[in-house]
Amino acid sequence: MKWYLKVVRDNYANFNGRARREEYWMFVLFNLIFIIAIAMVSGVLAGLFDAPAFMGLYMIYLLGVLIPSLAVAVRRLHDGGKSGWFYLIGLIPIIGSIWLIVLFVTEGERGTNQYGPDPKSADNEEISTIGTKEIE
């Protein structure tokens, strides 16, 4: 859940930097769970009150997470050293979406690339600095 909140709250429209695989896929998972839950609740409420207006809840949620979804996808592509414009590969029927999924599951570049520092090493110590504590 922290990854979902990180994307929606902290990086709502941040298209700069890099996103780890875990950040991207956890966001996708929780987003899918919320979409299914909202669709089910909206459908039940629309059936109970005989009004299609409750489907608006579903559309409001989809519009609300559109920008963060695009932003985390672009940052995920940046982690692999690709431009955010590679997201448009998904428009190519069948092959494009498969290629895009491969890009999303591929491990990111180690170290700093043109899009920023490695997000995996941001919260971990660099291996080369372990055991090099200066003695005063």
For residues 18-30, average pLDDT: 92
CA distance 29 to 4: 9
For residues 83-106, average pLDDT: 92
Q: What is the pTM of this model?
A: 0.79
CA distance 74 to 24: 10
Q: Which of 60, 4, 76 is nearest to 33 (CA)?
A: 4
What is the per-residue pLDDT across 97-129, written as a single tens digit (0 to 9) for each? 999 999 999 998 888 888 888 888 755 444 444
Whole-number percent of the chain with pLDDT over 90: 41
- The β-bridge partners of 116 are 113
Q: For the chain, what is the mean pLDDT?
A: 83
Q: How confident is the model at residue 135 (pLDDT cuts 50, 70, 90)?
A: low
- C-alpha pair distances (Å), 21 with each of 47, 103, 120: 39, 10, 10
Amino acid at 27: F
Q: Of residues 60 and 54, which shows the higher confidence score?
A: 60
- Write a three-state SS string for 39-66: HHHHHHHHHHHCCHHHHHHHHHHHHHCH
Q: How confident is the model at residue 70 (pLDDT cuts 50, 70, 90)?
A: very high
